[in-house]
Amino acid sequence: GISMKLLLLGPPGAGKGTQAQAISAHFSIPHISTGDMLRAAIKADTPLGRESKKIIAAGELVSDNIMIALIKERIAQGDCKQGFLLDGFPRTLPQAEALVANQVNLDFVIELKVPDEVIVERISGRRIHLASGRTYHIRFHPPKIPGKDDVTGGSLVQREDDKEATVRQRLAVYHQQSELLGNFYQKCYQADGQPIYIKIDGAQAANKITDKILQYLTHHRLFT
Q: Which does 55 bind (CB under 5 to 8 A by kind): ligand AP5, Mg ion, none?
A: ligand AP5
Part of the chain binding ligand AP5 (CB under 6 A), chosen from 98-106, 121-129, 183-191, 216-224: 121-129
Residues with Cβ < 8 Å from 123, sequence gap 6 or more?
A: 12, 13, 162, 167
Spot the catalytic one: 5, 39, 122, 126. Answer: 126
**152-159 long-range CB contacts below 8 Å, 24 or more apart?**
154/129, 155/129, 156/127, 156/128, 156/129, 157/127, 157/128, 157/130, 158/126, 158/127, 158/128, 159/39, 159/126, 159/128
Spot the catalytic one: 91, 122, 127, 134. Answer: 91
Does 50 qualify as catalytic in the annotation? no
Q: Which of 29, 41, 48, 56 binds ligand AP5 (CB under 6 A)?
A: 56
CA 193 to chain centre: 23
The beta strand positions in 115-186, using DSSP E, are 126-128, 135-137
Q: Which of 7/61 has CB closer to ligand AP5?
A: 61
- Per CB under 6 A, does 206 bind ligand AP5? yes
Does 127 qualify as catalytic in the annotation? no
Distance in Å, CB of 16 to Mg ion, minimum: 5
Spot the catalytic one: 5, 16, 39, 122. Answer: 16
Burial readout 117-155 (b: 16 or more C-beta within 10 A, e: otherwise) = eebeebbbbbbbbbeebbbbbeeebebeeeebbeeeeee
Beta-strand pair 135-137/126-128: antiparallel
Does 159 qualify as catalytic in the annotation? yes
Q: Which of 112/217 has CB closer to ligand AP5?
A: 112
Does 168 qualify as catalytic in the annotation? no
- Per CB under 6 A, does 195 bind ligand AP5? no
Q: Are 185 and 197 in contact (CB under 8 A)?
A: yes
- Per CB under 5 A, does 13 bind Mg ion? no
Cα distances (angstroms) measured from residue 152 to each of 9, 23, 35: 29, 22, 21
User: What's 1's DSSP letter?
Assistant: -
Spot the catalytic one: 5, 122, 127, 159. Answer: 159
Does 170 qualify as catalytic in the annotation? yes
Q: Which of 10, 11, 13, 17 binds Mg ion (CB under 5 A)?
A: 17
Distance in Å, CB of 216 to ligand AP5, minimum: 16
The catalytic residues are 16, 91, 126, 159, 170
Q: Which residues bind ligand AP5 (CB under 6 A)?
A: 10, 12-18, 34-35, 38, 55-56, 59-62, 67, 88-89, 91, 95, 122-123, 125-126, 135-137, 140-141, 161, 170, 205-206, 209
